[in-house]
Every structure is written in structure tokens, then in C-alpha cells.
Structure 1
């Protein structure tokens, strides 16, 4: 990577953001523009974020700048991924998406919007499956890259593009589902969606993926592949799982300094952190083990049902009034037999609506290990309508 080139091209992009004359800027930085590398592109845009420009502001000029970088980016040589690897699957998904987009184009070419409206709707709705691809980037690939170098925090710009794709797709579906859809509105929005999706495919192929290959090691790629099975593989066959990924990692509790640390596949927590989380959740939790003994309960700020430490070790049947003991016994019996996994009730208490749920706890072998009781005041939740996307602490 050439630090001087990055510095000069950072100046170039800032000039574009400031609306300076495009031809003058191009001629001034022409030599550098034809030599930019994928990782340098990340540095350049990250520098704009550091200067105070928002991801939304950068999005407005992003494609214009990348178009100027195009010649250098498409000529850049990089080691393409092995078959069935995480990155190989991501690239195959993009190829499959292009096929789906081509199918939609063929329908549009028939120039009979009213007749083809339902076909178009089916094909457009099918594109929603591709969100799994973006979720894998946001929740797997991006975190690994961000841990490598600060410049990869610039991935927030690409995340904003994902959100634009989601919004455009939602708008397009609403147009097609309307009683009398406008062909003009459809043409405008399908053009917008195609522009975003093809743009993302390009940015992944020539900027994101080559950069990732250069900084992520084989062990990390294997970890990412293992994690990807939770998200699915839109429009392609699921790749075979590596043999070593078929065995689950053991969770563990270790001593770190003066604290106990709970280590699992999904993260690490100290004992104090786990307790803070339990007691901050807006629900009452009570754990009853496989021997029907009360073992633990949380102490949230506004507990719905009173619990005292004296209940620890008590038979759960003795914690309920006589008239409801048979219900408790039935729930536990069905959980123990494996016939049911949950039971739900709701009651009115002091003018509030209380949701009470019971969940069977089972270990990795499916053996019954107890019951988790979860109680929540849902009075205010029941009043929710529409959406609330803005912060409002009034």
C-alpha cells in the first residue's frame, strides 16, 4: 500500500465531496487514480469518515468515485477463494442473484406490465431471500475485518447501501401490491433497485473480497464458514460442512484473575456481567431444575411476582396455590416427556396485563434439565402501533 497515494486520493475524494470541478480533479490526480488498490479504497473512504463526513454523505458520491477507480480495480490481481469456502459461497450467491435479476429483465422486456404484474411480484418478492447474504456480511465478515484494521470501520458505508437495497425492495413490492400500480413508478424503482444491487455486486467483487483475502487467515475463514450456516445460502445449494465443524466446541468456565469467566461460542461474560444482564432484563426469570427444585431467580427493578431467597431449594409445586398445582404438574410432565416445549398464559393483575411463559430446558443431547419461567408486563407493548425509528426520550 502506498501511503502517499492514499493521502493524495483522500484529497481527491474530499474535493468531490465539496463539489469541485470533476475534470480538474481528475487531471490533478490522474496518475494516482489509475493505480488505486482495493485496500487503499477502504483507507480513502475511512479517512472521509474521520474528517466528519457521514456514511450518507459519502454514499452520494460513492459510485462516481468508484467509477473513476474502475480501471485500476478490475485489473487488480488477487487470490480467489477455494471451492465451498465462505467467500466462494458469497461469490456464487452474487452470480445467482445476477441470474434472478436477468429473469426480471426478461419479463420487463415483454412490455405488458398489467399482464405480468403478478409474475413480477413473485420474482421481486423472491429477492427478499438475498437479505441472508447481506446479513452474513454485516454479522460475520464485517466484524472479522473491523478487528483487523481501523479502516474497515468504513464498512458502515456498505451497510448503508444494504439498507438502501432493503428500502427499495420494500417500496417496489408495495407498488406491485397496490390496487392500481403505476408502471412509471415501477420502472423508476426497479431501475433504482438494479443500480443498487449491481453496484453492491461490483463493490464486493473488486473491493471488499480482494481486501478480505489479504487480511483474513485460513482459520478465520473456516470459523466464518461455520457461522454462516445459521443464515442460509440464497439461490445456491448449501455447501458441505467441513468435518471439523461438525463437532461442537465445549462451553467452559475459567478463572481470570479474581473473576470467573464464562466462555461460549457466542462470547464471554464475567459472573458479574451475567448477573447484571439477568437483572436488567425487563422480565422476571425463575429457573426450576429437573428435580422440580427452585434453583435461581432474577431481581429486576420492578419484579411482578415477589420472590424471596427462602424459595431456593423449594419444590416448585409448593410455590403455587393448591388450585393451580395440577397445571404446574401437567406442564412439567409434558416437558419431561418431550411432548411440549413451551406453555403460555396471560392474566390481569392490578390493572396490568401480565404474560407468563414456561420453557423446557434441554441439554445438547435433548435431555430435560428443567423449566424457565418468564413473566413480563406487556401492558404498554400491547399499545404499540406502526413504527418508532427515532430516538425520543421525552
Structure 2
């Protein structure tokens, strides 16, 4: 046992010295070669301990953040995950990992589109910019993935004494979010040229895509294995229960997680039955209001005053596909780029009071679909949000005469 401890201490001292060389300006490729020669592989937990020690010994977290990507480059392929715990389906870490798979698909999609730009004519750039805008809009959904780490996972790590790495990672989140927003801003510019996109590639597009991809590696190689070691089942259940309040990223879990050896019935029943809703004309339990909303023959989606999707009904005959990954997403990012200006017009008019109702009707797959947007306001007239109500009126349009006799159909 003492030999294992000594080996671990020696590895950590060696790794710390190698990482400090990076901060002193030594070529990362030389450091990586030395790491492979001296250490071969480093257990994921020791990487976290070393970064924590560097911060405790006075190396600013901002300095670690600055060289975070270089650390990852040096350690890539040399982290030992043999001791990592298995992850049950539906567990919060499983959800994080599934989201990462979807993020990497969009990163690949955006990379392939950008590769095509170099051989395109200026006349073809606007359609390409729309495709890229769609991809980067989807990538910005990573904000919810990061928020769940920041507000649900990191507090438990900090309680376990792991404070440095979460601080560094949060800083990287902010960098990636800013890069993605910059990409979207450029792609929304009218009359883009091929040269504009090529120039922006090294400044924004490539760093943004690399940032998302590198963060996936940091999570899967270090953060999540380490978190599984330090958090209790109760901690993970707490995270699981709060996850939907922030929302999912490009993925809607279809498997419900029930932690083994823990009685979750009390908290589950409390969530369903315990909270009553008192209104001026009556009251409901949460279970009752859920049944009412899902029985109405309409699709409803609620967008709050901050333009975030907060709710959608889940009736048996949905008109438009919705998944829980849109919860807390900016409503503009839930629509094709070509129709965003209409969404913005409706929201602006509702907020300003110029309008409170916007109806549309379309023919879709042989059905007559009626879509209405309503501005929701309180008694003082203050804007609370927008309610989208959609319904299939095809059968209603066929009605003639009257039906006064009870007849089940």
C-alpha cells in the first residue's frame, strides 16, 4: 500500500513539474513527449489534485485557465480511466455524456460546412451562412449543459474541497459561450462574402468548435470520473431532480433514473401531489393541472418575458414535435434562421403593447393547422410572456348542422 502511495506522490510531483514548464514557456510538444516517457498514463484523479495544488500554492486560477487547452493537449491520450466508475442509464452523468455526443455531431456538421466555404463563390455564401447559423444556434444550446455543471454539479464538488478545477472550467465555459455568440453575430450579418467567412475562421469559428470539443474531452476524461468518485447517491439524486429546471442540451432523456438503495417515493410523490395551485376561481393539484393541460385538444408552448421556452403541453396528438431539450432555450434558437425575423417581430410587438394576438393558418400534410400567439399580461398590463396555441381544425371545418344527442366517437 505504501508503495502505491509513494508512486502516486511521485507521479503528482512529476506532473506538477511538467505543467509548470508549460507556464514557463517550454514547448508543449516537448512537455508531452517527456510526460509520455516518464509517466505513460496519469490517473484522472491525480490530474485534478495537481491543478488544485498549483492553485493552492499561488498559481492564479486565471493562469491555469489561460493554459487549460495546452494542459489538455499534453495530457490527451495519457489519462488512465481504468478506475472510473460505471454510469447507469438516465444518471445525470449519462445525460451529460449523451448531450456531448449530440454536440460533437453538430461540431462535425459545422466543420464540414466550413470546409466547403473555401471553394464556394460569393453568390453561394448566403445559403451556406444560413446552414452555419443553424449549426451554431444549436451549439449555443451548450449553455444549458454548462449551467447544470455550474449550478448543480460544481457546488457539490466545492463542498468536497475541490474548488480550483470548477473555477477554471467555469472560465472556459464563458470563453466558449462568447465565441459561439460571436460566430452567430457574424453569420447574421447581411451580404457576407467568402472572404468574410474565411477571415472569421481562425478568429471565431475554429476556436469555438475546438472549445466545445475540448470541453467534451475534459468532462469525459477528468470531470465526470472525478465527480462520480466524490458525490454521493443523494447528491446525484438532488442534481437529477433539479435538472429539468435548467433544461437539456440537444437531447431528451428517455430513461428514468432510479438510484439503487434509495427510497425516492417521498420526493417523487411530493413533486406530483404535494404542491397545490390556488387560483381566484378554484384550485388544482399539480397532477390535476397536468391532466387538464394534456387533455385539451391544442398544443401549447409558453415563452416567458425573457424569451425563454419554459413549458410545452404533452397531449396525445401533438402537431409540432417538441422535446424537453428546448426548455430554457431562447425562442429565437428554436426556429429556422429564415423565420427568426417573424418571431422577433411578434415578441417586440407584444412587449411594446402594439399587439396582443397574432393568428396564422397553414396546410400541413393534408391538415388545416391554426396557430395563434397570445401576449400574456398581468392585471397591471405588464408583459409576462407569449403563449403559442396550435390546433388541427380539419375535422371541425367539416361539421354541419347540429349534434344534440349524446354519441361517443
With the length of structure 2 as denominator, give the TM-score of the two structures. Answer: 0.57
Q: Encode CA deviations 1:7-26: one digit per residue, 9 max, x unaligned.
A: 33222212221124657756
SS at the partner of 1:230? helix
Contact 1:34 1:69 in 2 (8 A): no
Change (3 A) 1:148 1:32: farther
Q: Which residue of structure 1 aligns with residue 268 of structure 2?
A: 246
Which of residues 130, 140, 144 is equivalent to 2:152? 140
Q: In the alignment, which of 221, 226, 248 is matched to residue 206 of structure 1? A: 221
What is aligned with 1:58? 64
- 1:230-245 correspondence to structure 2 within 5 Å: 230-239=245-254, 240=256, 242=258, 244=265, 245=267
Residue aligning to 1:361 = none
Pair 1:341–1:176, CA change in 2 (3 A): closer
Q: Kindly tell me: are residues 129 and 233 of structure 1, through their superposed partners in 2, closer, same or farther at Cα, counting changes over 3 Å? A: same
Deviation, 1:116, is 1.0
Note if contact 1:136-1:228 (Cα within 8 Å) is conserved in structure 2: yes
Residues 200, 25 of structure 1: alpha-carbon distance in 2 compared, 3 angstrom cutoff = closer
Q: Deviations over 1:234-291 (max 9, x none)?
A: 111144365634233789xxxxxxxxxxxxxxxxxxxxxxxxxxxxxxxxxxxxxxxx
Partner of 2:126: 114
Give the gaps of 5 or more residues in structure 2. Answer: 259-263, 276-375, 384-409
Q: Deviations over 1:32-86 (max 9, x none)?
A: 5323111111111122222333333223322222333233315534222100111
Report the equivalent of 2:167.
156
Distance (Å, rounded) in 2 between the aligned partners of 1:8 and 1:74: 16
1:124 aligns with 2:136: yes
| Contact 2:31 2:74 survives alignment (8 Å) | no
Per-residue CA shift, 1:274-325, capped at 9, x if unaligned?
A: xxxxxxxxxxxxxxxxxxxxxxxxxxxxxxxxxxxxxxxxxxxxxxxxxxxx
More contact order relative to length (CA 8 Å, sep ≥ 6):
2
Q: 1:28 to 1:85 in 2, by over 3 A?
A: closer
Give the unaligned 5+ runs of structure 1. 252-339, 347-356, 358-394
Question: 8 Å contact 2:43–2:79 — kept in the other structure?
Answer: yes
CA-based RMSD of the aligned residues comes to 2.9
- Taking a change above 3 Å as real, the CA distance of residues 173 and 228 of structure 1, as seen in their structure-2 partners, is same
What is residue 207 of structure 2 aligned with on the other side?
A: 192
Secondary structure, in 3 states, of the residue corresponding to 1:344? coil
Larger Rg: 1
Give the length in aligned residue pairs. Answer: 259
Aligned to 2:78, the other structure's residue is in SS state helix
**TM-score for both structures, normalised by structure 1:** 0.59
